[in-house]
Amino acid sequence: MSEQHSDTSRLVVVVDDDPDWQEIEASRLEGEGYRVERFFTAEEALAFMRDRTPRLIVSDLMMERLDSGFDFAGRVRSDPRLARVPILIMTAAAAKRGFDLSPQNSDDLAAMGVDAFLDKSENEDRFLEAVRRLIATSGKEARP
Amino acid sequence: MSPEPQRVLVVDDELGMREGCRKILESEGYVVVTAEDGQAGWEAYQADRGFIAAFVDIKMPRMSGIELVEKIRAIDDDIILFIITAFASIDTAVDATKKGAYGYIPKPFTPDELLMPFQHGLERRRLAMEAKRLTREREDRLLELAFERSKSGAVLQCMADGVLVVNAERRVVMHNGSAARMIDGLDSLPVPFDLSALPVPALADLIDTSLAHAGPSIETRELRVNDRTMMVNVSTLADSATTRGAVAVLRDITELKKLETAKSMFVSMVAHEVKRPIGVIEGYLNIVLSGLSHDPNKDREVLERSLIRARSLRQLVTELMNLTALETGHFTAKRVPVDLKEIVDEAVDACRDRAAEKGVDIDVLWPDGDALVVMADREAMQTAIGNLVDNAVKYTAGQSPVAVEARRVGATIRVAVMDHGIGIEPADQVKIFEEFFRVRNRFTATVPGTGLGLSLVRRLVELHEGRISVASEPGKGSTFTVILPAAEETRCAAN
């Protein structure tokens, strides 16, 4: 294992099938001092996290499938080591193709195994605000 | 009475009788024709036919009076027939009336004894004819009415819309064939039946509610009936405050609803596909404006990426407009002889720069020297073939070459565009021709595309009575083949 593996305190995993969105989210996160690893698919991200635990996962909702993001979240949650990693789901359109997948409240989020849900059209501040909040909460939980 | 003198036939073998009758009748204004025996009487009758009455002697040579009465009556209902007899007996009188005579006049007779029964007979004839006329008139009216009724019945039966008629007692008193086809089990109910027995409770409820309203009303609702969507109109028949019944008209709008759904799906897909690049451009511009990168080179790269996404957005809008033009029939193909060799050359030239940048060679193959002329819209062909060559360059793996082969096969021209890219999974091979479908994986994520190109190509090819197909093996590459009908030989020569 490389020495980078040990330092995961600032590691954020970004999953999006659009390289431009990877770039945008990475730029925002790197500007905040996070180290970002980018992935095109959930599969690749899961492989990467086999021996690394990031502080946060930011994932697109619609990748290979309409709800790939939720599927990915479910698989992260089922891994005891990753179960506590907060997940932020990003979507280009909350109501796409007639199916509204956007959660209406915290119960919906919990049911989806997701910690936050954000529209991609939300500005940078809203995005970073969500990121900070998720990392702070998980930090408290991790070290009670 | 009438301006036209009425004619009377007198048949008797006695000249005295004939002339006596003539005198009496002529004095009353009738025109009299006489005949001296049954046969002559029959001939006189046939020659004229316009007689209102005939006086016939019984005993005559050649043809008896009874026989003559019988013959005339057989073809003439209206004429008044009198038997004149010297041998008056009840039997002959009865016999004569049975044969169709109105009455008999015993010889000898006074003018009054002739005229009285004659006048009665005429009156009866008039009444009989009037009754007949009225009957005929009534029959005509009935026929007309029956015809009208069958006409509206036929209209009702022929209607594509289902019709149900319900009376104020809430009984279904009539329905047409379309209604029976729309509502399962309706045909097995003997009309009239109670509204509550209607196999579609929601429809029964709607009609029931309408009937409960005082005065005329029209209710319109969408109802599911046997897995179809129906637009139901219930109008009540009412005069002033009493509701007499209701008519429900069912129109099957299932296909319309499907179209509506497809349309709104399309609109939301368009919205999504437009929103995506705009979101990216917005995100990138914010990165530059916020000075996040602290690196001018990085900013430049971000702006270049934004430009690419802006271009692909413009491409999307162009393709959308083309697609819409095709769909709404606003695109009119100007068919002229077009050499597909030229089209392929142009398409390859247009992609040359991008291919060179990627290090991809484009091989063009003309296996035979045949003319490759199709009757087509030049611009449409440029768009179709151009899209395929452009895709091949975009999707071919690394620097593996792209090949375009055009040849004549029988009465068709085939253009095949081959790449050595990632290929397409069998399940996706049909879907790639659908609007907005894009195979999403790590490789395609870096290839800009609108998801409209291939559906546009398919529509354009089909507009030219052509066909497009794909053969692909994942990991090896794809071959898209367009088959178009070749132009007639004579046209090729002219070209």
Q: Please provide the average confidence, as pLDDT, over all residues in chain B.
A: 86
Cβ neighbours of B285 (radius 10 Å): 14
Q: In what order do the strands lie in the sheet with A87-91?
A: A35-39, A11-15, A56-60, A87-91, A116-119
Query: How far apart, in whole angstroms, are the C-alpha atoms of residue A78 and residue A93?
Result: 27
B470 within 8 A of B434, measured Cβ to Cβ:
no
- Of B271, B309, B440, which is closest to A64 when you measure between CB atoms? B440
Using alpha carbons, select from B71, B73, B61, B70 the residue that is nearest to residue B35. Answer: B61
Residue B494 has pLDDT above 50, yes or no: no
Residue B425 has pLDDT above 80, yes or no: yes
φ, ψ for residue A60, nearest 5 deg = -70, 150
Nearest CA-CA distance, residue B232 and chain A, Å: 26
φ, ψ for residue B365, nearest 5 deg = -120, 125
Query: How far apart, in whole angstroms, are the C-alpha atoms of residue A47 and residue A8?
Result: 16
H-run or E-run covering B122: helix B111-158
A interface toward B at CB cutoff 8 Å?
17-21, 23-24, 27-28, 30-31, 40-41, 44, 63-64, 92-93, 95-98, 120-121, 123-124
pLDDT in tens, B104-155: 888 888 888 888 888 888 888 888 888 888 888 887 777 777 777 777 788 8
Q: CB–CB of A23 and B446 under 8 A?
A: no
Q: CB–CB of A27 and B293 under 8 A?
A: yes
For residue B39, what are its two tokens? 């046969």
Dihedral angle, C-alpha A89, A94, A100, A104, nearest 10 ° = 70
Q: CB–CB of A21 and B309 under 8 A?
A: no
Cβ neighbours of B374 (radius 10 Å): 25
Where do we find the tokens 């008797």? B12
Cβ neighbours of B41 (radius 10 Å): 30
H-run or E-run covering A131: helix A124-142
Contacts of B360 (CB under 8 A, 6+ apart): B393, B396, B399, B400, B401, B402
End-to-end Cα spacing for chain B: 92
ipTM (interface pTM): 0.75
For the residues B340-351, what does the mean pLDDT come to? Answer: 90
Tell me which of B195 and B87 has the higher pLDDT. B195
Q: CB–CB of B283 and A20 under 8 A?
A: yes
For residue B325, what are its two tokens? 């033009």
Within B226-348, strands assigned E span 228-239, 242-252, 336-339
For residue A76, what are its two tokens? 């992260």
Taking contacts as CB-CB distances below 8 angstroms, the residues of chain A near B446 are 19
Q: What percent of chain A has pLDDT over 90?
A: 30
- Give the per-residue pLDDT at B493: 42
- Give the per-residue pLDDT at B291: 79
Within B86-135, strands assigned E span 103-106
Compare all CA atoms of chain A with the CA of B281 and give the residue at the minimum distance.
Answer: A20
HSE, CB side, 13 Å, CA atoms: give it for residue B54.
34
Our CA angle for B97, B100, B102, nearest 5°, is 60
- Give the per-residue pLDDT at B403: 94
H-run or E-run covering B162: strand B162-167
Nearest CA-CA distance, residue B269 and chain A, Å: 6
H-run or E-run covering B219: strand B218-225
For the residues B203-207, what does the mean pLDDT come to? Answer: 93
- Give the per-residue pLDDT at A6: 54
- Of A20, A96, A124, which is closest to B309 when you measure between CB atoms? A20
pLDDT in tens, B56-71: 988 888 888 888 988 9
Nearest CA-CA distance, residue B463 and chain A, Å: 28
CA distances from B141 to B8, B136, B149, B155 (A): 34, 9, 12, 21
Compare all CA atoms of chain A with the CA of B306 and give the residue at the minimum distance.
Answer: A20
My answer on whether omega of the bond before B108 falls inside 30° of 0, hence cis, is yes
B8 within 8 A of B54, measured Cβ to Cβ:
yes
For residue B334, what are its two tokens? 């100007």
| pLDDT tier for residue A132 given thresholds of 50, 70 and 90 | very high
| pLDDT tier for residue B49 given thresholds of 50, 70 and 90 | confident
Query: How far apart, in whole angstroms, are the C-alpha atoms of residue B79 and residue B101?
Result: 9
Taking contacts as CB-CB distances below 8 angstroms, the residues of chain B near A102 are none
| pLDDT tier for residue B42 given thresholds of 50, 70 and 90 | very high
- Give the per-residue pLDDT at A143: 40
* Alpha helices, H only, B329-440: 340-358, 378-395
Using alpha carbons, select from B452, B448, B487, B450 the residue that is nearest to residue B466. Answer: B487
Query: How does strand B412-418 pair with strand B477-485?
Result: antiparallel
Query: How far apart, in whole angstroms, are the C-alpha atoms of residue B146 and residue B214?
Result: 33
Q: CB–CB of A27 and B276 under 8 A?
A: no
- Give the per-residue pLDDT at A96: 44
Compare all CA atoms of chain B with the CA of A44 and give the residue at the minimum distance.
Answer: B442
φ, ψ for residue A8, nearest 5 deg = -115, 10
Nearest CA-CA distance, residue B309 and chain A, Å: 9
H-run or E-run covering B322: helix B296-328
Q: Which of B263, B265, B272 is the best substitution to test chain A (most A C-beta atoms within 10 A)?
A: B272
Query: How far apart, in whole angstroms, are the C-alpha atoms of residue B40 and residue B12?
Result: 10
B52 within 8 A of B125, measured Cβ to Cβ:
yes
Contacts of B236 (CB under 8 A, 6+ apart): B210, B211, B213, B215, B216, B217, B218, B243, B244, B245, B246
End-to-end Cα spacing for chain A: 29
pLDDT in tens, B304-345: 989 988 988 888 888 888 888 887 777 777 889 999 999 999
pLDDT in tens, A30-45: 988 999 999 988 889 9
Query: How does strand A11-15 pair with strand A56-60?
Result: parallel
